[in-house]
Chain A
Amino acid sequence: RKEVEQDPGPFNVPEGATVAFNCTYSNSASQSFFWYRQDCRKEPKLLMSVYSSGNEDGRFTAQLNRASQYISLLIRDSKLSDSATYLCVVRTTGNQFYFGTGTSLTVIP
């Protein structure tokens, strides 16, 4: 079983739409959770950390459900510039990071 699993998509949505990505992780001892964004032929970059209380950064909202071992990312009012691959990332004890395979998003004009 993979440490982190996420729907690969692709998600093709019109500008202005709301889109949600989900991710599950298998290690209940996981300590930290993140969403990273990766543009084509570029390195992954931190989009936001994810906290149990939920957190928001502009149009982006992340949620963590430790009981269900489930992480989500909601993007509201999608922009063309949001087109990218979104990686769910989990940090476990021993400072190991595990990555989902990524969910591809294309925002269509």
Chain B
Amino acid sequence: NAGVTQTPKFQVLKTGQSMTLQCAQDMNHNSMYWYRQDPGMGLRLIYYSASEGTTDKGEVPNGYNVSRLNKREFSLRLESAAPSQTSVYFCASTLVPRGATGNTIYFGEGSWLTVV
């Protein structure tokens, strides 16, 4: 019963390096999200994908790109890492049945990224 799985769990990058955070869910959810969480700022949406084949910017998309590879997988890429991108990153997913309300969002365990 994996739910939402994201890798890596910990990563240290040098400024200017690139990396991709991987996320996969096995709950047949159609919407997926990437958030970052910083002290005192709460969870902020970076990008989301309402369904396979679509992606949209969230509140803080600068410096990131995403790929919705298929229904299960949604990756987040940092092309040129900066110290300001030091954060905890959470992938999440939810099911959106037609006409439904009250569906909840499920999170991966988080990826701790430090950019030095």
Contact = CB atoms under 8 A, between A and B. Distances in A.
Interface of A: 8, 31-32, 34, 41-46, 49, 87, 89, 91, 94-97, 99-102
B60 interface: no
Contacts of A44: 43, 90, 107
Nearest to A48: B104
B102 A97 contact: no
Given A97-B33, A101-B41, 19 more contacts: A32-B102, A41-B110, A42-B109, A42-B110, A43-B109, A44-B43, A45-B107, A46-B106, A49-B104, A89-B105, A91-B103, A94-B50, A95-B31, A95-B103, A96-B48, A99-B42, A101-B40, A101-B42, A102-B42
Contact of A43 (B41, B42, B48, B108): B108
Nearest to B107: A43
A100 B105 CA distance: 15
B13 interface: no
B104 A34 contact: yes
Nearest to A46: B104
Contacts of A95: 31, 50, 94, 96, 103
Contacts of B33: 97
Interface string B84-108: 0000001010101000011111111
A41 B101 CA distance: 30
